[in-house]
Amino acid sequence: MTANIVQSTNPVISVDGVGVRFSKGSRHRSLRDVLLRRTNGLTSGQFWGLRDVSFDVYPGECVGVVGANGQGKSTLLKLIAGVLLPDEGQLSVTQGVAPLIEITGGFVGDLTVRDNIQLRAGLHGMSKAVIAERFDEMIDFAGVEEFIDMPYKHLSSGMKARVAFAVVSRLDEPIILADEVLAVGDKAFKQKCHRRLESLIAEGRTLFLVSHSERDLRRFCTRGLYIRKGQLVSDSDITSVLSEYAQERA
C-alpha cells in the first residue's frame, strides 16, 4: 500500500527551528554551572537531543521518520504529541493526535481491562456513549474477551500492547503518531494492525511513523525525514531517504 499525499495551504504540524535540551546525570546543577559554563546555549552536563529542526506536515500526508537509535526520533514524536516542550523554536499542531507511543503507558495495573479501556478512552476525549458503542469492537480487536474483568497487570506484555493499540486506534483524531507500534505482538496481530492503519490512512488521516522497519516505512509512507545526531539531515520521498540512510550505515 502507498499513502497518498494531500497537500493543503495550511499544515497540521509545523516545526520551526525546534531544539530540545537534556541533562546528563543529575538534573541539579550549581549556580556556577548556570552562570559560567554556558556554551552554545548549554550549561555543563547538557546536550541537544534535537537542534534547529524545521518542517511542515500537511493533512493526509504519511511521513516516516528514520535514523539510528538515540538520534532524536522519539523525542521529535513526543514534542508533536505534547509530552515534551521545545527549549528553542516554535511547534504548532492544529489538529488532535492519537498517540501510539509508549503504547502501554497510562494504564493502571490494579484496574480491570474493562476499566482501563474506559479510562484510557475517556482521557483521550471519547464520550461514554462512544466508548460503549465501540467497546466490543476494541475487545474483539485485542482478542481479550476472556480477560476483560482481570486486573490489567496480569496480562502478558503482548496482550497489554494489543489492548492499548485497540483503544488508541479507535480514536477519531486526525493525526496518528506511531513509534515502533507495528513491532509489537505476534504475526497475526501485526497484520491486524497493518489493516487498521491502512483503513485510517484511507480515511484521510495524517500519519507520522517512527520505525526501523524499512518494509513498514515503504508500505505506509510516501515522505521521509532522516534524523541524525538530533538534526534533520534529509526531507524527501521515502525511497530517497531510506537510500541515503542505508548508504551512511554501510
What global pTM score does this model have? 0.83
Residues 6+ apart with CB under 8 A from 240: 224, 234
pLDDT tens profile 9-61: 799 999 999 999 988 764 444 444 444 344 566 777 788 999 999 999 999 99
Which pLDDT does position 125 carry in this prediction? Answer: 87
Query: What ranges do the domains of the chain cover?
Result: 59-86+96-249
Nearest Cα neighbor of 211 from 77, 105, 65, 80 is 65
pLDDT tens profile 172-214: 999 999 887 666 667 888 888 889 999 999 999 999 999 889 9
Q: Is CATH 3.40.50.300 the right assignment for the domain spanning 59-86+96-249?
A: yes
pLDDT tens profile 140-168: 999 999 999 999 999 998 888 889 889 98
Residues 6+ apart with CB under 8 A from 166: 117, 138, 139, 141, 142
Nearest Cα neighbor of 115 from 143, 169, 152 is 152
Q: What are phi and psi of 55, to 5 degrees?
A: -175, 165
Q: At what angle do helices 157-168 and 128-142 cross, to 10 degrees?
A: 140
Strands 223-228 and 88-93: unpaired
Q: Which amino acid is at 247?
A: Q
**DSSP 3-state of 188:** helix
